[in-house]
Amino acid sequence: MKIRFGTSGWRGIIAEDFTVDNLKRLSQAIANYLKDVSDNPKIVIGYDTRFMTEYFAQIVRKVMNGNEIEVLMCENPTPTPVISFYIISKGLDGGINLTASHNPPQYLGLKFNPGNGAPAPIEVTKKIEEIVKDIELSDVKEADGLMSELFEVVNPSKEYFEYLSNRVNFEIIRSKRLKVVADMMYGTAIGYLNNLLLENTENPVILHDYRDPYFGGYRPEPNERRMGEIREIIKSKDLHCGLAVDGDADRFGVVDDRGDFIPPNEFIGLVAYHLYKNKNLKGPSARSIATSHLLDEITNSFGYETLETPVGFKYLGELLLEKNIVVGGEESGGLTIQSHVPEKDGILACMLALEMLAYSDKLLSELREEIKEKYGRFLDRRLDVKLESTEEKNKYMLEFEKLPEKVKSKKMKERKDIDGIQYIFEGKHNWVLARPSGTEPVVRIYIEATDDEFFNEVVQEVKNLI
């Protein structure tokens, strides 16, 4: 079976694509890569709260040890951003997390971060894909049992908390005695986000802080659809906000004091506004091509530019390392900030929500209104067009090429092919993007506008193409 990396690692259905044999082959390919780039490789291995993840992590460990690669094995399920932190703090050659992130319970996957802590860039994943093509099961080297000289159990939580406390002001958060509700979504945030909230907020309401490989029967995804329980609790208990993270704690979800979900596009803007205004950080911001231009407006108002990347946090991670960006974010619910790890971090995002409350002495609903008054109203929509086959997907993209001539309210002024096809129309921040999935027959459509007529017309025309 062909093993391919998506925008965030390799994923498959357990016992169908994600099998012991495929995992061994991929682990051997990563081991070969590590030995190509380092004389004495040393890595950290983590895992999430899905079925048998400790077992699968030990399979990866045996292959690494069989290739004389030293392994630091996480004692408990560990967030992906913590793996990134540990790579950097210990000067490791890479890290592997056994996780399928926000995917349904039947999935498992593998994320690989090289020595800089960022998600593996395309040139690295392509190389690993090339290596794994030629690996048979008989080529896999495995250690017999535990090799104590190449294996150590670690718990990165305390070091990560200390690291995070140098980026987020816990002291000011504690002083405000904030009242919050937070959903661990049965995932790796358990032992991390819940502990931070117990230490820094006033009697937090913590939901789903126990392991359940079924994730309560849902995807562990902190989107608007999954925030019903949080919203009700905020309204009934008069809390400051609600927080959530996904299965491997790299994505975030935030609900304001009114019980309204804050879309990631908007929350990234709030974070930028807070960091520039309250913490006086300096430098550009960055976003994926599919993310709201609200970030551009806010960044520009403080005298800096916004850099644009293809979709995939690996690109933003690289910019954090190269350009020292103040904030990097993407609309799917990922962000990082200056001096933090070059990986999206949902725990960081949740603590930043509390920090902006503490610094401003305003409610999130008030901060949202302040942003709208200063920068205007941004309308955005994402549509996932599910098709029957790759042929249908290609046909849809051909039809999408005709979209500019169908839109009557505004003229197209620019086309971009950075990632998919993006049409930018006249006026301020009016655009539509179509991105075909590389792994399934789906086209993802992103629309943003500051004009109601244009927004409604484009949404309808996109639907008419189906």
How buried is residue 404: exposed, middle or buried, by Cβ count under 10 Å (0-12/13-18/19+)? middle
How many CB atoms neighbour CB 199 within 10 A? 12
* pTM score, whole prediction: 0.96
Q: What's residue 146's pLDDT?
A: 75
Domains of the chain: 10-155 (3.40.120.10), 160-375 (3.40.120.10), 379-464 (3.30.310.50)
- What average pLDDT does the structure give for the chain? 96
Q: What's residue 159's pLDDT?
A: 99
Percent pLDDT > 90 in the chain is 94
Tokens of 97: 């997390």
Tokens of 399: 């039809």
Tell me what the mean pLDDT of segment 61-80 comes to: 98
201 has a pLDDT exceeding 80: yes
* DSSP at 6: B
Residue 461's contacts (CB-CB under 8 Å, 6 or more residues apart) are: 403, 406, 407
Question: For 243-279, b where at least 16 C-beta lie within 10 A, e where not — what string?
Answer: bbbbbbbbbbbbbbbebbbbbbbbbbbbbbbbbbeeb
pLDDT tens per residue, range 389-412: 999 999 999 999 999 999 999 999
Binned at pLDDT 50, 70 and 90, residue 148 comes out as: confident
Alpha-carbon gap, residue 49 to 208, rounded angstroms? 12
Tell me what the mean pLDDT of segment 78-87 comes to: 99
217 has a pLDDT exceeding 80: yes
C-alpha distance from residue 244 to each of 32, 38, 164, 261, 329 (Å): 37, 38, 18, 11, 17
466 has a pLDDT exceeding 80: no
Q: What's residue 2's pLDDT?
A: 84
Q: How many helices (H) and strands (E) does the chain have?
A: 16, 20
Q: What's residue 108's pLDDT?
A: 97
CB 269 within 8 A of CB 294: yes
How many CB atoms neighbour CB 388 within 10 A? 8
Strands (E), 189-245: 205-207, 241-245
Q: What's residue 194's pLDDT?
A: 99
Alpha-carbon gap, residue 89 to 340, rounded angstroms? 11
Binned at pLDDT 50, 70 and 90, residue 465 comes out as: confident
CB 255 within 8 A of CB 261: yes
Binned at pLDDT 50, 70 and 90, residue 438 comes out as: confident
For 144-188, the DSSP string reads: SS--GGGEEEE--HHHHHHHHHTTS-HHHHHHTT--EEEE-TTST
DSSP helix/strand/coil, 294:
helix
Alpha-carbon gap, residue 422 to 404, rounded angstroms? 10
145 has a pLDDT exceeding 90: no
pLDDT tens per residue, range 283-316: 999 999 999 999 999 999 999 999 999 999 999 9
